[in-house]
Amino acid sequence: MYLITGAAGFIGSALVAHLNALGEDRLILVDDFLNYPAKAPNLTGKQYLQTVERDDLFRVWDREQWHLKGVYHLGARTDTAEPSKPLFDRLNLNYTKEVWNRCTELKIPLIYASSGATYGLGEHGYKDDDALAEILVPLNEYGRSKNDFDRWVLTQIDTPPHYYGLKFFNVYGPNENHKGRMASVIWHTFNQVQKTGAMKLFRSHNPDYADGHQRRDFIYVKDLVAVNYWLMTELPSPNGLYNLGTGRSRTFLDLATATFAAMDRPPDISFIDTPADIRDKYQYFTEADMAKLRRAGYDRPFMTLEEGVNDYVKIYLMTGEYW
């Protein structure tokens, strides 16, 4: 039996789909279901034991005394434009500490979502060395809250029997329809092209990068959840922080062009100014150093950007299907 927080969200529901495909249906799903009904389609047709409201989790956990094989803590406030430090401290830092403490006390393996946003401008590189967490300078409250928890974890003497803090880079794929502004550029490109035949990308405000040549490490959600499951089932992997990207950065122009190709449309791409509220907190380059995960034994290839975009567009966006 596994417990998954953020289970109705983008990555959480994709993990449920992956587990169901492997025959795992004894799942406890935790989310803020009442306040976010737009996420409900993500769980349609999926198999699980019960759902629990996020704010009720610890009370219900004490009452039910589940016998858990592991906890996937994927729930978080992820809006990078949200400025409220108290909000992020409550949802991303203190709530996660309570999950950690339960897993430590009950000796339950824990995987939790950190973020590539912890690396800030990348001035210290993108290596998932545990010691680096102390000097990283994230660009927003979301990244700061994730890094604060990573730093706290690394000071703990008592830990879950196995734990992995996964620094997710730019994840895209099915079940992100509810995310709106925070959905991937592929989702936005598909919908803009459907409406107008064209796509507007953010203009570069950094002289080192041409328009559309901002680079990120984009990882398909199917690859990401496969790593999550592998780590949980290959528990001898060393505890600590792990990057989770592909190890190869690509441009937003590549991303949009691949989306047009998957839609069998000629590319029509122009540029608009990056919104002022995120302009000074914008990462122009990210690329995950994946050596640590490879050393731990994960040897499966990741989909190329073109493979992932083609799968996402043709199987899900063009059909309206969820995973």
Cα separation of 309 and 239, whole Å? 32
Helix (H), strand (E) at residue 200: strand 199-202
SS3 content of the chain, % helix, strand, coil (to 5): 45, 15, 40
Catalytic residue among 48, 119, 142, 220: 142
To the query of whether residue 95 is one of the catalytic residues in this protein, the response is no
Taking alpha carbons only, the member of 123, 172, 113 closest to residue 147 is 113
CA distances from 314 to 173, 204, 273, 283, 311 (A): 11, 29, 30, 29, 6
Ordered per-residue pLDDT tens for the chain, 323 residues:
999 999 999 999 999 999 999 999 999 999 999 999 999 999 999 999 999 999 999 999 999 999 999 999 999 877 776 778 888 888 888 999 999 999 999 999 999 999 999 999 899 999 999 999 999 999 888 889 999 999 999 999 999 999 999 999 999 999 999 998 889 999 999 999 999 999 999 999 999 999 999 999 999 999 999 999 999 998 778 999 999 999 999 999 999 999 999 999 999 999 999 988 788 778 899 999 999 999 999 999 999 999 999 999 999 999 999 99
**30 in Cβ contact with 52 (< 8 Å):** yes
CATH superfamily of the domain spanning 179-215+249-286+308-317: UDP-galactose 4-epimerase, domain 1 (3.90.25.10)
In the block, which residue shows the tokens 């992956």?
Answer: 18
Taking alpha carbons only, the member of 249, 229, 244 closest to residue 292 is 244
Q: Based on C-alpha coordinates, what's the Rg of the chain?
A: 19
What pTM was estimated for this model as a whole? 0.95
- In 13-154 the beta strands, taken as DSSP E runs, fall at 27-31, 50-53, 70-73, 110-115
Structure tokens at 133: 């967490």
To the query of whether residue 200 is one of the catalytic residues in this protein, the response is no
Catalytic residue among 97, 179, 200, 281: 179
CATH 3.40.50.720 matches 2-171+218-248+288-303? yes
Taking alpha carbons only, the member of 77, 57, 80, 55 closest to residue 68 is 57
**Domain segments of the chain: what residues?**
2-171+218-248+288-303, 179-215+249-286+308-317
